[in-house]
Amino acid sequence: MGEFGLIGRVTAGRKQPPTTLIGPGDDAALVAAADARVVASTDVLVEGVHFRLDWSTPEHVGRKAIAVNMADIAAMGAVPTALLVGLACPKTTRAEVAEALAAGMWEEATRAGAGLVGGDVVTASEIVISVTALGDLQGREPVTRGGAMPGDVVAVAGRLGWSAAGLAVLGRGFRSPVQVVGAYRVPEPPYEAGPQAALAGATAMIDISDGLLADLGHICEESTVAIDVRTDLLEVPQRLVDVSTALGADPVHWVLTGGEDHALAATFPDAAAIPAGWRAIGSVTRGTLVTVDGGKYEGGAGWQHFR
């Protein structure tokens, strides 16, 4: 099919949101930025590191590639508007695999109301997907990692521990429970919760990609504060309890350290400011560390590349 045949195949007939002024087909795209500011984020997914095609379908991988990027946009309090995708793959890759990857990308972008406005396709020894996401603050100030204050309440929106449980199941050679395995294959970030938190006065916010404790640590670092997470406030669904019992694992450990669910964590001035759909899990104090129930957590904090 070739590079341009593939691009034509995966872009033909696709609808774009009103923010896309010029989409695929020119040297660059043109995206409306209503308040003259653009939130931007990039993530790279590598076959064998972030996904396996014997564990996930190409559609799953395509959706995941888009979701992990748009979650970063939501974590700034912005609304996703546009995505640029770079796809590198072996020249022997079947056309239907590339088309299915693209179909998953379009599906997830559409779910959030964003346009897939351009990108590139190149040859590589393995499948690599690089996505740049753009977002609109709609006149609001961005919510960064650096605004948390002692006395704030820590809250989360979205599910935690599900992807880690799904990975554990797949790693044991099983393909069910489908709901748990599906959480690993395709994260479900609460895109609308980011702007919602910004409107409610969130002082700091982050996307949970590497694990709750690890990512709360970034808020501590940037805000020069400490955070204490209370396990009695964490939501541990019965499904995770059942799976952990079968595998001899600890479901609370999955919730505290499991990555790739792409929930959002934020700090709010007080409990009254927490919007619907968010749930309190701890508090901000003076210091620089993340603790669990007042003490150091010995189980590790989460995922880091190169370690």
Query: 286 among the known binding-site residues?
Result: no
Query: 210 among the known binding-site residues?
Result: yes
Query: 35 among the known binding-site residues?
Result: no
- H/E run at residue 258: none
Query: 209 among the known binding-site residues?
Result: yes
Dihedral (CA of 17, 21, 128, 94) sign? positive
Closest alpha carbon to 278 in 235, 221, 218, 223: 235
DSSP-assigned letters across all residues of 154-208:
EEEES--SHHHHHHHHHHTT---SHHHHHHHHS----TTHHHHHHHTT-SEEEEE
Query: 242 among the known binding-site residues?
Result: no
Query: 250 among the known binding-site residues?
Result: no
Q: Which two tokens stand for residue 137?
A: 């603050």
Closest alpha carbon to 217 in 306, 291, 157, 305: 291
Query: 293 among the known binding-site residues?
Result: no
Query: 27 among the known binding-site residues?
Result: yes
Crossing angle between the packed helical segments 238-247 and 162-171, to the nearest 10 degrees: 30
Query: 120 among the known binding-site residues?
Result: yes
Dihedral (CA of 64, 66, 69, 75) sign? negative
3-state SS, residue 257: helix
Query: 261 among the known binding-site residues?
Result: no
Distance (Å, whole) CA 164 – CA 94: 30
Q: 218 near 305, Cβ under 8 Å?
A: no
Dihedral (CA of 119, 125, 127, 130) sign? negative
Instruction: List residues forming the annotated binding site for substrate.
Output: 50, 260, 303
Instruction: List residues forming the annotated binding site.
Output: 27, 41-43, 50, 72, 119-120, 145, 207, 209-210, 260, 303
Instruction: List residues forming the annotated binding site for ATP.
Output: 119-120, 145, 209
Instruction: List residues forming the annotated binding site for Mg(2+).
Output: 27, 41-43, 72, 120, 207, 210
